[in-house]
Structure 1
Amino acid sequence: MAKAIKQIELVQPSAQEEQAQDIAGLLTQLSQNREAITSAIDIMGQLQKSGILDIIQGLLHSKEKVASIAIDQVNQPNMHNIIRNGFNTVDFLGSLDPQQMNIMMSAVTKGLDESAEVMKRNEKTGVLGLMKALRDPDINLAINSMLGFLKGMGREMGKEHSHYKTGE
């Protein structure tokens, strides 16, 4: 019969053997991820050339001062309004229909172009010219569109105004 093993000897690798194993593992990882590492090195080189790494390094060395300045700035009363307005702006932009917004922005661009042309000509328009302009389908559409805009805006402002009156 075989003898029972009563003592197990743990073989502890030496520091040099551990280091050699670590290096072998790193070399394996380097060879398996060669493209990613090459890209990362290229990115780091570009960041260094552009001076961005120096800026980041400076920020990291002065992180306490930078954090203190940032906190002081965020605690300014106007900054609270800026942050709230930023959230309101993002909420507003999210509520807009992109197709309608595209149409309106194109119309505004074209309107600015027309306005620049009119300003170059420096012509005067009298009452008769205004009456004639109202018959122009493009002007009539723009005026009706603006009236619709003002109506919707006024309706919403009326809701807010009634909230202030009733204390809601």
Structure 2
Amino acid sequence: MAKAIRQISRQVPNETEERAQAVEEILQALADNKEAVLSMIELAKELHEVKVFETADSLLKQRNEVGVIAMQQVNQPAVHNIIKSGFGLFKFLGGMQPSQLETLLTGVSLGLKRMSQTGEKGKKQSIWKMRIRLRSPEIRAAMTTMVDFMEGMGEAFLRSREKRD
């Protein structure tokens, strides 16, 4: 019969063995991810060449002074207005249908392109030719759109005035 086990000895690796095992794991991870490691080294080299690390180190060392300056700049009334305007812009864009926004931006883009072409040519147009052009469907659509736009804007102005009064 086998002899009963009365004493269990735990084998605890010493510090040298733990370090050797850690180095082995690191080398294995480096070998498995060779492409990523080489890319990171190249990226670090490029960042070092343009002094990004030195700049970041200086900013970290002077973080209190930099923080004070940053907070002074953020507390400017103009920055508050920019933030409020940004929220207003996002609210405006969120209220529009994507197709409406696309149509509007396409129209603005085409209008600016035509306007720049006219400016480059430098041709003057007679009143008679302009009168004829007013009959085109494109001009009529744009004019109708602009009148509707102005009507809506005027309505918003009147509502705003009523709220203030």
TM-score higher than 0.5: yes
Query: Where does structure 1 lack aligned partners over 5 or more consecutive residues?
Result: none
Once residues 23 and 78 of structure 2 are traced to their aligned partners in structure 1, the CA distance between those partners, rounded to angstroms, is: 54
Distance change (3 Å), C-alpha of 1:45 and 1:92: farther
Comparing 78-87 with 100-109, greater Cα deviation is found at: 100-109
Q: Say yes or no: does 1:29 pair with 2:29.
A: yes
- Give the distance between the partners of 1:3 and 1:114, measured in 2 at CA: 95
Alignment of 1:46-61 (within 5 A): 46-61=46-61
- Of residues 129-138 and 61-70 in structure 1, the stretch that sits farther from structure 2 once superposed is 129-138
Letter in 2 for 1:2: A
Q: C-alpha distance in 1, partners of 2:105/2:4? A: 91
Aligned to 1:111: 111
Instruction: For residue 130 of structure 1, report the CA deviation from its aligned partner.
Output: 5.2
**How far apart in 2 are the matches of 1:129 and 1:45?**
64
Q: 1:57 to 1:130 in 2, by over 3 A?
A: same
Cα offset, 1:138, TM superposition: 1.9
Paired positions, count: 162
Per the alignment, residue 2 of structure 1 pairs with 4
Query: Residues 24 and 51 of structure 1: is their aligned pair in 2 closer, same or farther, counting only changes over 3 Å?
Result: same
Distance 1:134 1:60 in 2: 63
Whole-Å Cα distance in 2 between the matches of residues 117 and 25 of structure 1?
66
Cα deviation code 1:43-64 (max 9, x no counterpart): 2223223333333233223222
Amino acid at match of 2:113: D
- In structure 1, the residue matched to 2:124 is 123
Amino acid of the residue matched to residue 81 of structure 2? N
TM-score (structure 1 length as normaliser): 0.76
How much identity, in percent, do the aligned residues show? 31
Are residues 23 and 125 of structure 1, via their aligned partners in 2, closer, same or farther at CA, if it must alter by over 3 Å? same
Aligned-CA RMSD value = 2.7
Alpha-carbon distance change, 116 to 34 in structure 1, aligned in 2, over 3 angstroms: closer
Deviation at residue 147 of structure 1 after TM alignment? 0.6
Aligned-pair CA distance for 1:71: 1.2
Q: 1:130 to 1:95 in 2, by over 3 A?
A: same
Residues 1:97 and 1:54: Cα distance change in structure 2 (over 3 Å): farther
Tell me the alpha carbon deviations over residues 55-101 of structure 1, each in whole angstroms, 9 at most, x when there is no partner: 32332232222212111111222222222212222222333333332
1:27 offset after TM fit, Å?
Answer: 1.6
Superposed displacement of residue 36, structure 1: 2.4
- What is the CA distance between 1:129 and its match in structure 2? 5.4
Matched, 1:39 2:36: no
- Residue in 2 that maps onto 1:102: 102
Cα distance in 1 for partners of 2:132, 2:47 equals 62
